[in-house]
Structure 1
Amino acid sequence: MTQDVYKIGGIGTVPVGRVETGILKPGTIVVFAPANITTEVKSVEMHHEALQEAVPGDNVGFNVKNVSVKELRRGYVAGDSKNNPPKGAADFTAQVIVLNHPGQISNGYTPVLDCHTAHIACKFAEIKEKVDRRTGKSTEENPKSIKSGDAAIVNLVPSKPLCVESFQEFPPLGRFAVRDMRQT
């Protein structure tokens, strides 16, 4: 999960972020989603010390081959290109719980979505159904709107591709917050 990208003299491009799942080690061919940039990890460092491998929870910098700083951004996700690589989603379906919103939310509503380190405008394309917050059972199909206290299944369309995963598979990439008018 990329939090920042630096250009370091004599070394090159160094993305910085936290390992969420799996292992990051030199020699791994990674793909950055959603940009679909593939490169080799040359080295991995934590607190200015070289690591043979980084594990979940480690905040690391890693040097990548032949990629410029301009090509990578905060919010990109790096993953093993050969083992279930991350991809950008043009749209996705999610369970949304409205915690604190002054009015009704209907199809077309476009707040900012914070997912891992990405911040991106995301349209509520279709509110498919209202669900019971405790059981997850459907209580209303195709509601006109939802309001504070409601839980719903919504099809979301980011303004540009976003790297998200199912909460069951990768919880850190399946969790998000929606913000509007400085309210989360």
Structure 2
Amino acid sequence: WWNGPCLVEALDELKAPEQPVDKPLRIPIQDVYNIKGVGCVPVGRVETGVLRPGDKVVIMPPGKEAEVKSIESHHEPLQEAKPGDNIGFNLRGVSKAEIRRGDVVGKPDNPPTVVKEFIAKIVVIKHPTAITAGYTQVFHIHSAQLACQITELIEKLDPKTGAVLEKNPKFLKNGDAATVKIVPTQPLCAEEYSKFPQLGRFAIRDMGQTVAAGMVIKVTPKE
């Protein structure tokens, strides 16, 4: 009744996805420690690119430049950190007080984007009433958690096809999909989903529940 491979054979045939090592470096910071005798040690997951000891890096939004002294993963020293690696890395030239969770590490020649505003597609999952322009709530995007405001409802979309149903809708309710304009209340690093999926998706949380989820389709960099 079944002519295909058995489960174990099917699993063996699965190919691992290619790691985005050719993309610019992006490491959202999960936490920052100050270790006695070592110095400033941020921890985070490498999302794209490659990090090596001796590399010059820049941390955005604060714009602090530093040098990587060493890299560790699970107490083992690394000579190269690739996408998917959870690492701690010792930085020279920056202190714990100058960087924080939600900042993003990149290379000076292609720094992470600090956004002034961005256009996103969202789907309303569970909201007690309706979302209107001016709605401000906590956005969870990569390791950052900060308040952002939906300043404009641009289009209401068909959740299945993506077709435009209505221009400039007055409100959004549960199950609605839409294109909206969003402005962060504090400096925020975000990237377009088409270029960096890991830094271009977000959830909107309110009262301990996920109200909506979305992805960034266009960013306006902060000058």
Q: Contact 2:65/2:93 (CA < 8 Å) preserved in 1?
A: no
Q: Distance in 1 between matches of 2:74 and 2:208?
A: 34
- Residue 4 of structure 1 is matched in structure 2 by 31
Q: Distance in 1 between matches of 2:105 and 2:197?
A: 16
User: Where in structure 2 are there 5+ consecutive unaligned residues?
Assistant: 1-27, 211-223
- Residue 62 of structure 1 is matched in structure 2 by 89
User: Where in structure 1 are there 5+ consecutive unaligned residues?
Assistant: none
TM-score normalised per structure 2: 0.80
SS at match of 2:97: helix
Q: Contact 1:110/1:124 (CA < 8 Å) preserved in 2?
A: yes
Q: Distance in 2 between matches of 1:158 and 1:31?
A: 21
Task: String of CA shifts for 1:13-35, please: whole Å, max 9, x gaps.
Answer: 00000000111111211111111
Q: CA deviation at 1:94?
A: 0.5
Moved over 4 A (4+): none
Give the RMSD, CA atoms, in angstroms. Answer: 0.9
TM alignment of 1:32-47, pairs within 5 A: 32-47=59-74
TM alignment of 1:28-177, pairs within 5 A: 28-82=55-109, 84-177=110-203
Q: Distance in 2 between matches of 1:135 and 1:30?
A: 41
TM-score normalised per structure 1: 0.96
Q: In structure 2, what residue type is equivalent to 1:38?
A: E
- Residue 214 of structure 2 is matched in structure 1 by none
Q: CA deviation at 1:134?
A: 2.1
Q: Distance in 2 between matches of 1:171 and 1:67?
A: 28
- Residue 19 of structure 1 is matched in structure 2 by 46
Q: CA deviation at 1:87?
A: 2.2
Q: CA deviation at 1:64?
A: 0.7
Q: Distance in 1 between matches of 2:131 and 2:74?
A: 45
Q: CA deviation at 1:146?
A: 0.6
Q: Contact 1:16/1:62 (CA < 8 Å) preserved in 2?
A: yes
Q: In structure 2, what residue type is equivalent to 1:11?
A: V
Q: Judge which range, 103-112 or 35-44, deviates more.
A: 35-44
> % of aligned pairs identical?
55
Q: Whose Rg is larger?
A: 2
Q: In structure 1, what residue type is equivalent to 2:43?
A: V
Q: Contact 1:90/1:160 (CA < 8 Å) preserved in 2?
A: no
